[in-house]
Amino acid sequence: LHQIGELGWCEYQTTYYLYKQLLSSSFELFLGSEVMSKEARMGVPSAETDRSFFQKAKEAGVPDDFLEKVKGGLTGLVAVLDTKQEGPHFGFRFDIDALPIIEDDDSSHAPAKEGFSSQHRGTMHACAHDGHAAIGLGLACFVEENKDKLTGKYTFIFQPAEEGSRGAKAIVDKGWLDDVDYFLSGHIGVEDLAVGTISATTTQFLATTKLDVTFEGVSAHAGKKPHEGKNALLAAAEAALALQGITRHGDGTTRVNVGKLVSGSGRNIVAEQAFMEVETRGSTTDLNKYMVTEAIRKIKAAALSYDVTEKVDIVGEGIAVNSNKEWIEEVKAATEGSAFVSNVIDEAPIGASEDVAYMMKRVQDQGGLATYLLYGTPLQHGHHHKAFDFDERVLTVAVNVLMNVIAKKGCFR
Ligand SMILES: [Zn+2]
Ligand SMILES: [Zn+2]
């Protein structure tokens, strides 16, 4: 999985790999438009990016009839095993996408040393989603092996495009979470912890919105006719500074970042176009909404000030949510005496955004209980770093935790 890392909505090889692993099991497998509402997807990549990963999948031998079902960015997989015995409905979510990072080829980086670096140069699993997918497969093995002894229903969601908060909502809209009683998801790492330490719940999810902003002006000769130009570069520059000056809200934490700004074509030309990647965050969904409203006004004001046009596209969105506290005791009781889990922390702050929040909220709104666990691993480098790596023993720990929760919920007949 590490070797075939793919960007969000382009996980063609990864989805096929998961599909193949589960094909001979009793799980019912769902692909393509069965997995998600196509229109609710956010931040779908350019046709060129899509084509490049699609082509790589073809060359790697992914069969045409499979690709036909997932083409156009309908990646990801839902696997359902219904024991038909009365019992709870469990939902699990594992994200599967990689990041646009050139992986470190230094021999101190384990994948480079052991020969399993990304084969897709410029795309790398630097957030452990390859590990998450592996945990999903591990847990699926447990459910498959014990299917005659278990009660209830088990829905495994292998979600595309988590990075940038783009994928979860489209799956929620398709109804997969509507009657889930117990929903578990989580992340490897996040905090630098020993293997065997886990957090039963997490707090401080930030709501977030990702905005692509384009300014459109008019180019002109910078010496002879500057007055005939309309300067998109200056509008973008002014917007970038003004965004940092949004008045902070008194009710809680907010964030804003301009992470990318590209503009202009040459020294002596009034810049015709500018493009910015912006994100806002807030400790509640309302605080984030406040930041978005303010950001859009600053962007429009900058455009007006330079008489250029502006276009704002929302390309990703995540809400704020909390784990149900009930899970603290549940997870502790479930992992008591486990040979793999040595320490359970009640809660850990995540301080970032996760689009699984959409899934958790849907489950909670329908009366179910949801949590987001952290699985400890020492981290030499942080997430999204070119030499990110985790201790693979954490995979066993995570599968063990989820197995034990199923067992604790009394699902063994
Ligand atoms: Zn990440
Ligand atoms: Zn991640």
Query: How many angstroms does the Cα of residue 295 sit away from the middle of ligand 1?
Result: 24
Q: Specify the higher pLDDT residue, 265 or 412.
A: 265
Query: How many angstroms does the Cα of residue 383 sit away from the middle of ligand 1?
Result: 6
Query: How many angstroms does the Cα of residue 198 sit away from the middle of ligand 2?
Result: 16
Query: How many angstroms does the Cα of residue 122 sit away from the middle of ligand 2?
Result: 17
Instruction: Provide the pLDDT for residue 411.
Output: 79
DSSP-derived 3-state class of residue 229: coil
Ligand with smallest separation from the Cα of 188: 2
Q: Specify the higher pLDDT residue, 116 or 411.
A: 116
Query: How many angstroms does the Cα of residue 128 sit away from the middle of ligand 2?
Result: 6
In angstroms, the Cα distances linking 389 to 98, 114, 190, 317, 350 are 13, 12, 12, 27, 19
How far apart, in whole angstroms, are the C-alpha atoms of residue 240 and residue 275? 11
Query: How many angstroms does the Cα of residue 103 sit away from the middle of ligand 1?
Result: 15
Instruction: Provide the pLDDT for residue 409.
Output: 85
Query: How many angstroms does the Cα of residue 44 sit away from the middle of ligand 1?
Result: 17
**pLDDT (mean) for 234-246:** 98
For 396-412, give the secondary structure using H, E and C.
HHHHHHHHHHHHHCCCE
Place of tokens 């996760």: 354
Ligand with smallest separation from the Cα of 390: 2
- Reported in sequence order, the residue ranges of 144-268 that DSSP labels E, i.e. its strands, are 153-159, 182-192, 197-203, 207-216, 254-263
The DSSP line for 159-192 is ES-TTTT-SHHHHHHTTTTTT-SEEEEEEEEEEE
Query: How many angstroms does the Cα of residue 267 sit away from the middle of ligand 2?
Result: 40
**pLDDT tier, 351 (very low <50, low <70, confident <90, very high otherwise):** confident
Checking if the pLDDT of 412 tops 90, the result is no
| Neighbouring-strand partners of residue 156 | 79, 92
Checking if the pLDDT of 221 tops 90, the result is yes
How far apart, in whole angstroms, are the C-alpha atoms of residue 50 and residue 53? 5
Query: How many angstroms does the Cα of residue 224 sit away from the middle of ligand 1?
Result: 48
Query: How many angstroms does the Cα of residue 150 sit away from the middle of ligand 1?
Result: 34
Query: How many angstroms does the Cα of residue 164 sit away from the middle of ligand 1?
Result: 8
Query: How many angstroms does the Cα of residue 231 sit away from the middle of ligand 2?
Result: 38
Contact call for residues 209 and 243 (beta carbons, < 8 A)? no
Query: How many angstroms does the Cα of residue 348 sit away from the middle of ligand 1?
Result: 17
Query: How many angstroms does the Cα of residue 206 sit away from the middle of ligand 2?
Result: 14
Instruction: Provide the pLDDT for residue 13.
Output: 98
Query: How many angstroms does the Cα of residue 353 sit away from the middle of ligand 2?
Result: 9
Instruction: Provide the pLDDT for residue 114.
Output: 97
Contact call for residues 208 and 394 (beta carbons, < 8 A)? no
In angstroms, the Cα distances linking 344 to 83, 292, 322, 332, 397 are 30, 37, 18, 6, 12
pLDDT tens-digit readout, 259-311? 999 999 999 999 999 999 999 999 999 999 999 999 999 999 999 999 999 99
Checking if the pLDDT of 6 tops 80, the result is yes
How far apart, in whole angstroms, are the C-alpha atoms of residue 80 and residue 98? 24
Percent of the chain with pLDDT strictly greater than 70: 100
Query: How many angstroms does the Cα of residue 386 sit away from the middle of ligand 1?
Result: 12
First-to-last alpha carbon distance for the chain, in angstroms, is 34
Checking if the pLDDT of 173 tops 90, the result is yes
Q: Which residues of 136-151 are buried (b: 16+ CB within 10 A; e: fewer)?
A: bbbbbebbbebbeebb
Ligand with smallest separation from the Cα of 128: 2
Contact call for residues 353 and 291 (beta carbons, < 8 A)? no
DSSP-derived 3-state class of residue 91: strand
Ligand with smallest separation from the Cα of 133: 2
Contact call for residues 35 and 175 (beta carbons, < 8 A)? no
pTM of full prediction above 0.85: yes
Q: Does an H or E element contain 58, and which?
A: helix 47-59
Q: What angle do CA 214, 218, 220 make, to 5 degrees?
A: 135
Average pLDDT of every residue of the chain: 97
pLDDT tens-digit readout, 60-113? 999 999 999 999 999 999 999 999 999 999 999 999 999 999 999 999 999 999
How far apart, in whole angstroms, are the C-alpha atoms of residue 87 and residue 62? 37
pLDDT tens-digit readout, 110-162? 999 999 999 999 999 999 999 999 999 999 999 999 999 999 999 999 999 99
Query: How many angstroms does the Cα of residue 131 sit away from the middle of ligand 2?
Result: 10
Query: How many angstroms does the Cα of residue 384 sit away from the middle of ligand 1?
Result: 6
DSSP-derived 3-state class of residue 228: helix
pLDDT tens-digit readout, 364-407? 999 999 999 999 999 999 999 999 999 999 999 999 999 999 99
Chain-centroid distance, C-alpha 44 = 13
Query: How many angstroms does the Cα of residue 307 sit away from the middle of ligand 2?
Result: 40
How far apart, in whole angstroms, are the C-alpha atoms of residue 236 and residue 310? 9
**pLDDT (mean) for 3-14:** 98
**pLDDT tier, 25 (very low <50, low <70, confident <90, very high otherwise):** very high
Ligand with smallest separation from the Cα of 93: 2
Checking if the pLDDT of 410 tops 80, the result is no
How far apart, in whole angstroms, are the C-alpha atoms of residue 329 and residue 112? 40
Tokens matching residue 374: 């952290």
Instruction: Provide the pLDDT for residue 57.
Output: 98
**pLDDT (mean) for 166-175:** 97
Ligand with smallest separation from the Cα of 124: 1
Query: How many angstroms does the Cα of residue 257 sit away from the middle of ligand 1?
Result: 16
